[in-house]
Structure 1
Amino acid sequence: MTQSVDPDAVADPPASSRASLWRDGNFLTMWSGQALSQFGEQITNLAVPVIAVVLLHATELEVGVLNAAGVAAFLIVGLPAGAWIDRMRKRHVMIWADLVRALALMTVPMLWWLGWLQIWQLILVAFVVGIAAVFFDVSYQSLIPSLVKTDQIAEANGKLESTAQIAHLAGPAIGGWLIGVLSAPVAIVINVATYLASFAALSTTRDHEVRRAPEDHEPIMTEIGEGLRWVFGNPLLRRIVGTTGVSNFFSTVVFTMLPLFLLRHLGFTVEALGIVLSLGAIGGLVGAVMTPRIVARIGEARAIPVSAISFSVAALFIPVAAIVPEVAFPLLVAQGFIGSFTVLVYNITQVTFRQRITPPRLLGRMNASIRFVVWGVMPIAALLAGALGQWLGVVPTMWIGAAGELFAALFVAIGPFWRMRELPAATTADADS
């Protein structure tokens, strides 16, 4: 297979040593930029629904449309994005995506300051940011193998997930405080600054990725089909996609209604909402740290169904809070802790497996194909949540979502994962394909 050499690519990845990532300045530069941007994202993730619910007095349906707009891009451009990204340098795609997200988000405080901000403008910004997020996220999950050695991929994913969970831990609480002090639109400026910091960090990071030669390009539809066949031709990946997709669908139904449930139904303040999210995120941080020990104890393969069953059951805690509102705060914190912990165990394990077995030339299409399914269901679920919330009410809609999540674990809970301890590695044929 012919390949062209990119002048920005470094000759070799870092040395193969698990401790070496702490001494790898190249990885640490990228890691620090991502830590800042993930912190900023948590502020925006809280600020946008607060703007919609509190400042713009959005209805249940409008909240559903807003949430759908943020993830609609995975359904609309998710598949071709993977084929395009496999033709480009992933790091360069991430750099441009950061810049687009920063510029789009900056329009929110500007429109608010001018007194022109309306719900449709917020929806449009969410859609543009979502498109950039598609390209960034697919590239992000495909970049790691070009930064570190194969035997360091799990460690790199663990470090990145750890900082993501620290951002989930600190971001909402600090975001709630900032929104209370500065207002939600002004707090978004901090996210703009963190995206620019990520832009700078990625610009100075170097990878060893070699861009595919033009003569190696097939028609876009052919390449999309190749990515889909790779994912759905693997029985283990197929089951993982089933669990992840069903879980994302029904959890989106629940979490689309969550700001309305907490701010209107339970009467939480914005600060209290941020604290609930932050305390629950402690579980994710613990999960990221504990995943290697859990995998070593029960096996990589069994960690997937165990974690999937746990986060599916934990989802029931959220609507139960409506039955016992006097203990809603600790119940929601417990749900967040258990859910975050087990989702992190699941994600680190299955993402590492995906990256390990997929040939480098298919990484973008593999991730895009999976994201097309598991994120593509989310805008549909968000619209459904908005319609059900308007028709049945917020709490009944959340019960439907929580009950549906129980089915998510069945794809991995019934099948071959229990019979294995370790997941298979890439075969020689896979690596050469």
Structure 2
Amino acid sequence: MKRTGAIGRRVPPLLRDQGFRRYWTGQTVSLVGDQISLIALPLAAVVVLGADAAEMGWLKTAELLPALLLNLPAGAWADRQAHRRRIMIFTDLARAALLFSLPVAYALDALTLPQLYVVALGVGALTVLFEVCNVVVFAALLPADRYVQGNSLVNGSRSMSWLGGPGLGGVLVAVLSAPVALLATGLTYLFSAERLARIAPAEPPPAEPEPGHFTAGIRWVLANPPMRAFFGAVATLQFFNFIFHTLFVLYATRELGLSAGMFGAVLSVAAVGGLAGAVGSGAVVRRIGIGPSIVLGCAAFTLPLLLVPLAGGPTGLVLTLLFVAEFVSSAGVMLLDIAAGSLQLALVPDGLRSRVLGAFRFLTHGFRPLGAVAGGFLGTFLGVRPALWIGTAGAALGTLWLLLSPIARIRDLPSAPAVQSETPDAAPATTPDAARGS
């Protein structure tokens, strides 16, 4: 079977391509804006409006609910649209308008918590719609042999936003106030819209109406051996990792005695690790192949976190263990995201991309609240450290899904399936034998 050949050779820098460069710069700037809003929106609720714990819980629910409820229908709808890029531009403009309403209301002394809830819910819903269209536009911009390089650049930008975005958001909040700082996020969405307006990818035609259109993405994921294994791995990671994240701050500050500054330093090291993973992922994939890179990324993401419940003793030793755990884990998750994202792009037929992404996120996001609830339960009845052992050890089991699947044997990206192929049986590139590297 014909292969892309991208794994075994270097390709010219992707940023020489004007269309991708415009797309990438728009995404890079808007990712920084996302990080600013993650700081500014809750601070607006707490500092300006005096929100209590219950009200903050409602705000977080408004942010997360669209990802759980809308990914599946949004993916089904997006696959039947002819102009996904235009939809992305609309969502950027609409998100900017919602965020701009907050400083306006603040200036008029009319800002309320219900308005924050509506904005958080609206921005979350529009972001879901943006992402299910984005996967199609990204694939249309690049040939298959550039997927790894393109994903490396986008994920590198994401790591940079994690590194600098919260600090920039904190400065803007301190200087301008939280509601006014959200103007910056709105402006980044306007910039993204302008960049998208200046590219013209050859988007695939919309999917034709068919029986079972709404559930086609779920059926495709579950019927495709590599994707089914990856879903099992990610579901396991999501559940156990949210046990970990539910308790990590409490454990680090109360049981390990870290100050806010020390904990912030740990998170900064994690961001640096993510950037290192994004930069080095292309070389790793070329060296060992796409499937082994996915397995390595999953193992590197999960196993180092076992050092967290192991941490104890002098503060210097505790920080060293946490630095190592967060740096290596963040590098691993970047390698996992880049390699797995590239393989998914190569496996999924054009006419199913939005539905598969929406279905995959619907399935995996459902494990997040379950993990958070389990983390609170285990932390209460077993103690925080034992619960962290369960969370970190359980997440490491996700690697077994990949080791026992066809993914571990895939060396090169398979050729893209035909546009009209919308089931595993109709897409030869997605079968275990065809997807396996030579």
Q: 2:60 matched to 1:73?
A: no
Distance 2:44 2:395 in 1: 28
Q: Is the 8 A contact 2:204 2:350 kept in 1?
A: no
Q: Is the 8 A contact 2:204 2:351 kept in 1?
A: no
The alpha-carbon deviation at position 135 of structure 1 amounts to 0.9
Alignment correspondent of 2:28: 35
Helix, strand or coil at the partner of 1:223: coil
Q: 2:214 matched to 1:217?
A: no
CA deviation string 1:139-195 (max 9, x = no partner)? 122212211222222222222122222222222233334344444443332211111
Distance 2:111 2:375 in 1: 24
Helix, strand or coil at the partner of 1:208: coil
- Select the residue among 110, 119, 129 that pairs with 2:123: 129
Alignment correspondent of 1:151: 145
Describe how 1:187-202 pairs up with structure 2 within 5 A.
187-202=181-196
Distance change in 2, residues 1:314/1:45 (3 Å): farther
AA paired with 1:85? A
Alignment correspondent of 1:407: 397
The alpha-carbon deviation at position 322 of structure 1 amounts to 8.0
Describe how 1:231-380 pairs up with structure 2 within 5 A.
231-256=221-246, 268-269=259-260, 275-318=265-308, 329-380=319-370
Alignment correspondent of 2:421: none
Moved more, 357-366 or 411-420: 411-420
Distance 1:62 1:331 in 2: 35
Q: Is the 8 A contact 2:266 2:322 kept in 1?
A: yes
Distance change in 2, residues 1:150/1:417 (3 Å): closer
The alpha-carbon deviation at position 48 of structure 1 amounts to 3.7
Distance change in 2, residues 1:319/1:196 (3 Å): farther
The alpha-carbon deviation at position 298 of structure 1 amounts to 2.3
Moved more, 339-348 or 125-134: 125-134
CA deviation string 1:72-106 (max 9, x = no partner)? 21221211111111112221121122122222333
Taking only the aligned residue pairs, the percentage that are identical comes to: 34
The alpha-carbon deviation at position 36 of structure 1 amounts to 0.3
Helix, strand or coil at the partner of 1:370: helix
Alignment correspondent of 1:430: 427
AA paired with 2:427? D
The alpha-carbon deviation at position 417 of structure 1 amounts to 4.0
AA paired with 2:235? G
Q: Is the 8 A contact 1:72 1:376 kept in 2?
A: no
Describe how 1:49-88 pairs up with structure 2 within 5 A.
49-51=42-44, 56=50, 58-59=52-53, 65-88=58-81
Q: Is the 8 A contact 2:136 2:203 kept in 1?
A: no
CA deviation string 1:387-421 (max 9, x = no partner)? 87799887776565445423333321344444554
The alpha-carbon deviation at position 116 of structure 1 amounts to 6.0
CA deviation string 1:362-396 (max 9, x = no partner)? 11111111111122333454566678779988777
Q: 2:176 matched to 1:186?
A: no
AA paired with 1:39? V
Distance 1:63 1:388 in 2: 23
CA RMSD of aligned residues (A): 3.5
Distance 2:184 2:222 in 1: 40
Unaligned runs of 5+ residues in structure 1 are 1-16
The two structures have a TM-score, normalised by structure 1, of 0.81
Distance 1:258 1:95 in 2: 37
Moved more, 25-34 or 61-70: 61-70
The alpha-carbon deviation at position 57 of structure 1 amounts to 5.6
Alignment correspondent of 1:208: 202
Q: Is the 8 A contact 1:249 1:381 kept in 2?
A: yes
The alpha-carbon deviation at position 204 of structure 1 amounts to 1.8
AA paired with 1:205? I
Distance change in 2, residues 1:293/1:397 (3 Å): same
Distance 1:225 1:105 in 2: 33
Distance change in 2, residues 1:206/1:416 (3 Å): closer
The alpha-carbon deviation at position 323 of structure 1 amounts to 7.5
Q: Is the 8 A contact 2:75 2:358 kept in 1?
A: yes
The two structures have a TM-score, normalised by structure 2, of 0.80
AA paired with 2:210? E
Distance change in 2, residues 1:423/1:342 (3 Å): same
Q: Is the 8 A contact 1:173 1:275 kept in 2?
A: no
AA paired with 1:75? L
Distance change in 2, residues 1:158/1:124 (3 Å): same
Moved more, 94-103 or 175-184: 175-184
The alpha-carbon deviation at position 121 of structure 1 amounts to 4.7
Q: Is the 8 A contact 2:156 2:279 kept in 1?
A: yes
Moved more, 250-259 or 334-343: 250-259
AA paired with 1:156? G
Unaligned runs of 5+ residues in structure 2 are 1-9, 419-425, 431-438
The alpha-carbon deviation at position 352 of structure 1 amounts to 0.7
Moved more, 396-405 or 85-94: 396-405
Helix, strand or coil at the partner of 1:19: coil
CA deviation string 1:196-220 (max 9, x = no partner)? 111111122211114327xx2235x
The alpha-carbon deviation at position 117 of structure 1 amounts to 5.4
Distance change in 2, residues 1:329/1:92 (3 Å): farther
